[in-house]
């Protein structure tokens, strides 16, 4: 396991408190075909970037509110000012606590991601507070989608999504079920090729035509039936 996923003392303590089970069990399938992918190393930077941007936004809102309140309550009595101070201090403490908690959560969110692929199915585990473990067989996969935004492209990251049938997903295709997301992987093409290759083994995949139209060459039954026919003809010539 790469060092990037190793946990320090505080993180393993948090995981114990939150009762997060260790790595998931691989799905049934031949053990040789099992491949486990993890989120790319840049995914952590990506998560931190998103985290920083959203916190800067919240900080901006808090500062704006502070000045707006001062202006709006200029002529208010003293007790309103005291109340405003209390609310503001509470808001700042809340903000500071959420910054610390969400910062740790980013790190764990990155470290606790497993994308397992066997010859028959895949299993995706993610989440800390709300744990999710998705299992999907290849014969139910309808489409594979690789997406990467401009920033993700810069960081050489991409999301691979596999979808099963059904589910009225929104325009981004992010319905709660029906979609397996290999979020923030650095080897999206390798994963895509692997899934496409595994899908090839299931000719009757998805909801399409479930019978292969005609066998390409004569099967063993046809060969045997021809041999019977030849024998019967030879027999007829003898009688």
Partner 1 sequence: MTPTPIPDHIAAVERPCPALLKYYIFKAVVTNIAAPVTMLVLYFRYHTMRYRFDTEGIHMKWGVIMRHEIMLNYSRIQDIQLRSNFVERLLGLARIEIQTASSTAGSEMILEGLTDHTAMRDFLYSRMRGARHAHETAAPVSDSLAGILTEIAGELRAIRQRLEQRNA
Residue 19 has phi, psi (to 5 degrees) of 55, 40
Q: How far is the CB of 17 from partner 1 (least distance, A)?
A: 9
Distance CA 239, CA 234 (A): 9
Q: Are the C-beta atoms of 195 and 142 separated by less than 8 Å?
A: no
Which of 96, 151, 166, 196 is in the footprint of partner 1 by CB under 8 A? 166
**How far does CA 114 lie from the centroid of its chain?**
9
Q: How far is the CB of 102 from partner 1 (least distance, A)?
A: 16
Which of 16, 19, 71, 211 is in the footprint of partner 1 by CB under 8 A? 19
Binding segment toward partner 1, per CB under 8 A, in 59-67, 90-98, 99-107, 167-175: 167-175
Distance CA 138, CA 199 (A): 6
Distance CA 147, CA 216 (A): 36
SS3 224: helix
Q: How far is the CB of 180 from partner 1 (least distance, A)?
A: 7
Q: In 3D, which of 116, 122, 120, 123 has the Cα closest to residue 139?
A: 120
Q: How far is the CB of 206 from partner 1 (least distance, A)?
A: 9
In this structure, what token pair is assigned to residue 182? 């290999």
- Residues from 95 through 154 that contact partner 1 (CB under 8 A): 120-121, 129-140
Cross-strand bridge partners of residue 210: none
Q: Is 216 a binder of partner 1 (CB under 8 A)?
A: no
Q: Which is nearer to partner 1, 49 or 173 (CB)?
A: 173
Q: How far is the CB of 225 from partner 1 (least distance, A)?
A: 5
Distance CA 102, CA 99 (A): 5
Q: Which is nearer to partner 1, 8 or 238 (CB)?
A: 238
Which of 38, 107, 113, 178 is in the footprint of partner 1 by CB under 8 A? 178
Q: In 3D, which of 212, 201, 199 has the Cα closest to residue 138?
A: 199
Q: Which is nearer to partner 1, 209 or 221 (CB)?
A: 221
SS3 238: helix
Q: Are the C-beta atoms of 127 and 111 separated by less than 8 Å?
A: no
Task: Provide the binding-site residues for partner 1, judged by CB under 8 A.
Answer: 18-20, 25, 27-28, 120-121, 129-140, 164-169, 175-178, 180, 202, 204, 207, 219-221, 223-225, 227-228, 230-232, 234-235, 238-239
């Amino acid at each position: 396991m790469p060092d990037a996923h190793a946990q320090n003392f505080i993180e393993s303590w948090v995981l114990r408190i939150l009762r997060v089970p260790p790595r998931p069990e691989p799905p049934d399938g031949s053990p040789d075909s099992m491949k486990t992918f993890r989120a790319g190393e840049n995914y952590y930077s990506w998560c931190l970037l998103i985290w920083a941007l959203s916190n800067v936004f919240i900080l901006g809102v808090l500062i704006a509110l502070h000045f707006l309140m001062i202006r709006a309550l200029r002529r208010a009595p003293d007790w309103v000012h005291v109340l405003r101070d209390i609310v503001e201090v509470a808001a700042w403490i809340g903000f500071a606590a959420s910054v610390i908690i969400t910062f740790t959560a980013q790190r764990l969110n990155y470290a606790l991601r497993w994308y397992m692929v066997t010859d028959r199915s895949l299993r995706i585990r993610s989440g800390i507070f709300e744990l999710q473990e998705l299992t999907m067989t290849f014969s139910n996969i309808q489409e594979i989608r690789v997406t990467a935004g401009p920033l993700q492209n810069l960081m050489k990251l991409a999301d691979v999504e596999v979808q099963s049938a059904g589910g009225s997903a929104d325009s981004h295709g992010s319905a709660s079920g029906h979609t397996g997301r290999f979020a923030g992987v650095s080897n999206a093409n390798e994963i895509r090729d692997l899934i496409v290759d595994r899908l090839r083994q299931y000719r009757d995949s998805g909801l399409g035509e479930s019978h292969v139209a005609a066998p390409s060459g004569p099967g063993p039954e046809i060969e045997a039936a021809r041999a019977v026919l030849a024998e019967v003809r030879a027999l007829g010539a003898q009688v």
